[in-house]
A and B are shown apart, each in its own frame.
Chain A
Amino acid sequence: MIPPRDLFPDRAAVSARHPAIMAGSRRAQIIGWALVALLVALTVLSLSRLEFSFARLGSGLVQLGTFLGLMIPPSPGAQLATFSKALAETVAIAFLGTLLAAILSFPIGFLAARNVMTNRVVQFMTRRFSDSIRGVDTLIWALIWINVVGLGPFAGVLAIMTSDIGSFSKLYSEAIESVDRKPSEGVISTGGSSLHAVRFGIIPAVLPVLISQTLYYFESNTRSATIIGIVGAGGIGLHLAEMIRTFEWDRVAFIILMVLATVALIDFVSSRLRLALVGQRTTPV
């Protein structure tokens, strides 16, 4: 095999002939190396600040190996019924939270869309509102809702709903803004009001996109719903945290497998639903 360098025996002559091209690439190289140096320096700084050490990593990995050994074979012990009920609760939390968020975000999405909401102040405020909601994690919302409706799955539903309103409002308004303007212009030109334009010009075009995005979120919310139990907002998370704290590793493994299977099932169902309702052509990111 020929090493690539031998293909350019007159490299010096080439760079002498094309100084502009070679200088350009040298500048990019310097920037690239500076970037790498910066990343490495930051990494070293954070590793020392966050108290990383080989001894700690090593002993931790040994511990982790022991836990992994204890996880096999996964078994629910005598708690299969409890775990199944908690898992059903988790799915219910994700379903209701997603649905409520979708219903509430639908009007908010229009308020935050530049092409529908001509009042800039309202549009801007709606955007910042949904940004602030998104800045707060689902777990934090769960803690806040627990103060309102008490411990239990209902707080979880409200937490998933709240944090999803932030995401949905953003996604929906972006979908609405990217819609083709011609249908609504047509409606206006034949004497329709702006509400008519929204109903007949925008909604038919965006509805499939919105449904498909909502179904994507249903799956990811099932994952979020598995953890809000850690702070007491219902679902399988409570049992999972308890089993981890009491070192019941075979049950931990069993719960994780149950969650994986459920998420895979929901992924399957929601992609089938997406195909049936929307067809293949809309694939949002």
Chain B
Amino acid sequence: MSHATIRLPDHQIELLSAGYRRELAQRRRMALVGFVILMLAVLLSGFVAEVRPGVLFENIGKFTSYFGRIFYLDTGALVFTDIGEWFWGFWKWGKQLIDTLLIAYLGTLFGAIFAFLICFSAAINLTPQAGIRFAARRYLEFCRTVPEIVFALIFVVAFGLGPVPGVLAIMIHTIGALGKLFAEVVENIDMKPVEGIVASGGTRWQSIRYGVLPQVLPNFASYALLRFEINVRGASVMGFVGAGGIGQDLIEAIRKFYYSDVSAILLMIIATVMVIDIATERLRHRLITMEQGR
């Protein structure tokens, strides 16, 4: 059987393959340099962060035994043998969990409302004035970058212990996170409806209400639901700094070595987060299909 393949003359093949080898060697060198830099960074940061693998290996048993211990009651029996004793504080913790959910809810709602008010000023297609846009964006960035626990620490001093500072801290963080996402959604809309409304004499508010909102509302709702789920997790640790919710009971149980309480509270938190996770995912899925169905 004869081959129809055209074969280049040898000297040309030689040239091409030399070029190929050069490219390959170049890439290998780059990879090696990158690897060396990475290793140096690892060593340096390992030194700064006082990494002691020896301690870890010595004590890794403690990690697994910790998880063993939190599943035993004070009497020495496995927790599963006496559910009533294990979850002795079910109603107390349940109330705290409801508070946690309410903190996350209020924080998300108020945060979403403020993010909604600000996002149009941060979107380039609705706010051509660079000054306003710059201010709005920097503000959102500030809200987003400072961790919510830091806000909570400051607010606890200003507003007193309890859920109020927790709600406010989550709200501020939510303004930053949602404001950015909302602004991105607004920047991706079809501008024709807005132009139509402006051309027929509509005000800025009317162009937003009738031109922008119908396009962005499902996306806004979907992002807000996603944020709610994240905020439930955030609210579960607000109690660590005295800002309300289940975190207070959890940190007490961990610090005072109430082992079975730790596992009970953690399981309740994980179960709640999973339920919220699944519920918001369902809702978001429906919102997205609603959006695509139009």
Chain A positions within 8 Å of B, measured between CB atoms, are: 1-2, 4, 39, 42-43, 45-47, 49-52, 56-57, 60-61, 63-64, 67, 88-89, 91-93, 95-96, 99, 131-132, 135-137, 139-140, 143-145, 147-150, 152-154, 156-158, 223-224, 226-227, 230-231, 234, 240-241, 244-245, 247, 252, 256, 259-260, 263-264
Contacts and interface: CB of A to CB of B under 8 A. Distances in A.
Interface in B225-277: 233-234, 236-237, 240-241, 244, 250-251, 254-255, 266, 269-270, 273-274, 277
A147 B62 contact: yes
B94 to A, nearest CB: 14
15 contacts: A1-B201, A46-B102, A46-B106, A50-B162, A50-B164, A64-B158, A91-B45, A92-B45, A92-B49, A135-B269, A139-B240, A143-B255, A149-B56, A157-B49, A259-B146
Given A91-B45, A264-B145, 20 more contacts: A42-B105, A49-B102, A50-B99, A50-B102, A60-B165, A61-B158, A89-B48, A92-B44, A96-B42, A140-B266, A148-B60, A150-B55, A153-B49, A157-B51, A231-B240, A234-B49, A241-B241, A245-B153, A252-B154, A256-B146
Contacts of A51: 162-164
Contacts of A2: 201
Interface string B87-128: 000000000000100110110010000000000000000000
Contact of B250 (A46, A140, A147): A140
Given A57-B164, A63-B158, A260-B145, A148 B50 contact: no
Contacts of A39: 109
Q: Is the interface of B mostly helix, strand, loop or mixed?
A: helix
B158 A60 contact: yes
Nearest to A162: B63
A230 B234 CA distance: 15
Contacts of A252: 154
Given A50-B163, A158-B56, A147 B46 contact: no
Contacts of A67: 154, 157-158
A149 B102 contact: no
A50 B142 contact: no
Given A50-B106, A92-B44, A96-B46, A260 B155 contact: no
A247 B157 CA distance: 9
B237 A149 contact: no
Nearest to B98: A49
Interface of B: 41-42, 44-46, 48-52, 55-56, 59-60, 62-63, 66, 99, 102-103, 105-106, 109, 142, 145-147, 149-150, 153-155, 157-160, 162-165, 167, 201, 203, 206, 210, 233-234, 236-237, 240-241, 244, 250-251, 254-255, 266, 269-270, 273-274, 277
A57 B168 CA distance: 10
B55 A136 contact: no
B50 to A, nearest CB: 5
A96 B158 contact: no
A258 to B, nearest CB: 12
Q: Is the interface of A mostly helix, strand, loop or mixed?
A: helix
Contacts of A89: 48-49
A259 B141 CA distance: 13
Contact of B49 (A64, A154, A263): A154
Contacts of B50: 152-154, 234
Nearest to B99: A50
A174 to B, nearest CB: 13
A135 B44 contact: no
A179 B183 CA distance: 30
Contacts of A226: 147, 150
Nearest to B109: A43
Contacts of B236: 137
A57 B159 contact: yes
A96 B109 CA distance: 36
A240 B46 contact: no
A265 to B, nearest CB: 12
B52 A149 contact: yes
B40 to A, nearest CB: 12
A118 B241 CA distance: 45
A121 B66 CA distance: 27
